[in-house]
Amino acid sequence: MANHKSSIKRIRQEEKRRLHNRYYGKTMRNAIRKLRSTTDKAEAVAMYPVVIKTIDKLAKVNIIHKNKANNLKSRLAIYINKLA
């Protein structure tokens, strides 16, 4: 266990941040899963901007890497274009 007041506070802050980041990361993954599970192109096109906005927000605050965000967006665009 940490001995200094500042390190105890740091541990509390890091735990809070970790849970916050996990929540938004999981929310993003669920949104992507939901988009990929749709087979209707019109519905997927309607969901796409919302999912992209979420991905961009997480990349902006370094919850996910910017390259990962771009890869995810690219794969989703490819998926939507392949839908009949």
CATH at 28: 1.20.58.110
Number of structural domains the chain divides into: 1
pTM recorded for the entire structure: 0.86
Tens-place pLDDT, residues 47-75: 999 999 999 999 999 999 999 999 999 99
Tens-place pLDDT, residues 15-48: 999 999 999 999 999 999 999 999 999 999 999 9
Is residue 4 included in any domain, yes or no? no
Helix 41-60 × helix 66-82 angle, to 10° = 180
Q: What pLDDT score was predicted for residue 84?
A: 78
The number of beta carbons lying within 10 Å of the beta carbon of residue 35 is 19
